[in-house]
Amino acid sequence: MSKEQHPVGGSKTAAAPGPGRPRAFDEAEALEKALCVFWHKGYETASVDDLTKAMGLSRSSFYGAFGNKQDLFHQALSHYSRRALKTLRAVADAGGDDPVGAMMEALANPQGGRDGCMLINCLTELAPHDDEVAALGRQHLESIDEIIAKALEPSDPGRALDKARAYASLAIGTLALRKAGVPGERISQTLKQARSVISP
C-alpha cells in the first residue's frame, strides 16, 4: 500500500536500488528536456503532451516520477536558477579585466537565444499568481546582485551593492529588447554604450 512516491525531487543523488523494476529513463535528462519546453513555450502554453513527448515518457512515468505539471515546473525552474547562478559566477571568474562587463553581457544574452532568460519569463508570467515562483525570483535576483557586488567590492567597497543593483537591472531590462526581436549584436552595443555613459 505504498502510493505516490515520486522520488526525483526527494533524493539528492541516484536513489538506493531497492527491489522492483528500475526507471528506464534518466530523471535528470528528462527534467532537462522539460526545462527546454517550459523555457521555449512558457508554463501555460506547454501542455503535458508537449512535455511527455519531449521527455520521451508515457503519462504514467511522467506523473509517477514528477507528481504533476506544476511540481515538475517548480523543479525545472529551481534547477534553472541554480545553474544560471553557477554560470554567472563562472563568467565572473573568467571575465578577465572586466568581470562586470562579462556578467552583464551574459545576463543580457542568455543561452536561450530569442527565448531570453527563463527565470525572468516565468517571473513575468506567473509570479503574481504563484508565491513559490515569486519567492524563487526574489532570491535569484538578489543572488545576481550579490555576485556582481562581489566583483565591484575591490574597486568601490562603499557603493558596491547599489552599483550592482543598477547594473543588474540595466542588463535585465535589455531582455525586453531581445524579446522584441532586436538582434543580440545591437543589444550588446546598447549595453556597452550605456555602461560608458554611466561610468564616465
Partner DNA sequence: GTGTTTTCGGACTAAATAGTCCAAAATTAA
Partner DNA sequence: TTAATTTTGGACTATTTAGTCCGAAAACAC
Q: What is the dihedral of CA 105, 106, 111, 117, to 10 degrees?
A: -100
164, 145 Cβ separation under 8 angstroms: yes
Interacting residues toward DNA by CB under 7 A: 2, 5, 17-25, 46-49, 57-61, 63-65, 68-70
Judged by CB under 8 A, does residue 45 bind its own copies?
Answer: yes
**Least Å from the CB of residue 167 to its own copies:** 9
The smaller minimum CB distance to DNA, of residues 2 and 199, is found at 2
**In angstroms, rounded to a whole number, what is the distance separating the alpha carbons of residues 173 and 167?**
10
The smaller minimum CB distance to its own copies, of residues 23 and 41, is found at 41
**In angstroms, rounded to a whole number, what is the distance separating the alpha carbons of residues 171 and 169?**
5
Compute the C-alpha angle 125/190/107, nearest 5°.
45
Q: What is the dihedral of CA 172, 176, 179, 182, to 10 degrees?
A: -100
User: Which listed residue (29, 98, 159, 183) binds its own copies by CB under 8 A?
Assistant: 159
Q: Which of its own copies, DNA, none binds 11 (CB below 5-8 Å, type-dependent)?
A: none
Of residues 114-143, those binding its own copies (CB under 8 A): 114-116, 120-121, 123-125, 127-128, 131, 134-135, 137-138, 141
Residue 90 grid coordinates = 563562472
The residue written with cell numbers 535576483 in the block is: 141
Q: Which of DNA, its own copies, none binds 18 (CB below 5-8 Å, type-dependent)?
A: DNA
118, 112 Cβ separation under 8 angstroms: yes
| Residues near its own copies (CB under 8 A) | 42, 44-45, 114-116, 120-121, 123-125, 127-128, 131, 134-135, 137-138, 141, 159, 162-163, 165-166, 168-174, 176-177, 179-182, 190, 193-195, 197-199
